[in-house]
Every structure is written in structure tokens, then in C-alpha cells.
Amino acid sequence: MKFQERAKKQSGDSSRYLKVGDGETVSGIFRGEVYSFHVKWVGGKSQVTDSNDREAKLRHKVNVVVYEGNKFVAKVFEFPDGVYEQLGEVNKKCGGALEKFKVKIARSGIEKATRYFFLPEEKPLSEVVLKAIALVDLNILDGKKAEAQAPADEFPPDFGDPPPDDFNEHEPEIPF
């Protein structure tokens, strides 16, 4: 019997999700576009559905870049519609450029009593850090690439010169 190798799906990999427990705080940088979808809860688990389903609730996903294991990695942050509105307000406070700010994400509560709080830093990240973050591969949110980007070994042309070869040997400008 022969089986062909297939690309692994990311959908079932829970390690790619940003986990913030009750009373915990995580810092990261939001990147890419928000993906919106509908779910309903069946037997305590979410099931993707469409907007015509009377039990449908709107949910969203976005990539958040965090500093983990001495490198930047993208995690998927999934959230309900009320949090979408909160993030829209935070984006306005950041001049419509939320992707340039490190944001503290705090969680309080569990299950349906969960509340999130978002506190962006006062100043945008430096160009050096933004360049490093631009190189991070984003997670697939909807079966398509989250955003068109240069391969990880190429530096995006709109960010100027690539960082020096010894860039990863230096302490990052922002500790996570």
C-alpha cells in the first residue's frame, strides 16, 4: 500500500494558538488581516457554520507575533465579536497603525465570563524590530495565506536594507 506525502494542515495544531489564561498577560504585535467567520456551539465545542444559521456567533482570528524561544513567532489569537470592537478602538488610538505597536493582552475570567484588556505601548516599535517582525511567517487563518509576504529568507523590499548578519546575536530591543 502506498500513501503520498501531503502538506500538513495547520488547523488542528493547538500550539499555534495564543493562549492567555485567567489573570495572565501576554505581549505581542498584531499582524495581517483579521479573518471573520461564524460558529455555533455543539456539545461544548465550536463548529463552523454560516451566517444564515440562527445559532451562529461571529468570531475572528488574527496573527499576533510574540517573542518565544529567543525568536519572534506568529500565534493565532481567536476572539468573539465584542473583542473585535475593542481592538478597533485600540487601533484608532494607535493612529490606525496597531501593527506598529507592542500590545499587552490581559485576560480576566473564564468561559463566557471572559474579558480581555489591550494596552498598547505609548510609542511605536523601532524600525529594526519592525523589520524583524516583518520576516515572521504568518499562520494560515482561512485556508489561504494570511497575507502576501516575502519568503522568510528574503527581506521585504519596502523596509529598506536587511538587518546585519549578526542581527540574531544581539539582545532584542524589546523583551517579551
Does residue 49 lie in a domain region? Answer: yes
Does residue 106 lie in a domain region? Answer: yes
Residue 20, domain extent: 16-145
Does residue 1 lie in a domain region? Answer: no
DSSP-based three-state secondary structure for 62: strand
In whole angstroms, what is the distance from residue 175 CA to residue 27 CA?
9
pLDDT of residue 169: 45
Does residue 42 lie in a domain region? Answer: yes
Does residue 6 lie in a domain region? Answer: no
Contact by Cβ (8 Å): 106, 117: yes
Residue 94 cell numbers, joined: 494607535
Closest CA to 141 of 80, 67, 64: 64
pLDDT of residue 6: 53
Contact by Cβ (8 Å): 159, 54: no
Q: Cell 516575502, residue?
A: 150
Contacts of 120 (CB under 8 A, 6+ apart): 90, 93, 94, 98, 101, 102, 103, 104
Does residue 29 lie in a domain region? Answer: yes
Does residue 151 lie in a domain region? Answer: no
pTM of the predicted model as reported, rounded to 2 decimal places: 0.73
pLDDT of residue 69: 87
Residue 125 cell numbers, joined: 516599535
pLDDT of residue 72: 94
End-to-end CA distance of the chain: 48
| Total of domains in the chain | 1
pLDDT of residue 165: 52
From the first residue on, what is the mean pLDDT of each consecutive set of 10 residues in the chain (176 residues)? 56 81 96 94 88 92 94 95 94 96 95 92 95 94 54 43 47 46
At residue 149, what is the residue type?
Q
Does residue 141 lie in a domain region? Answer: yes
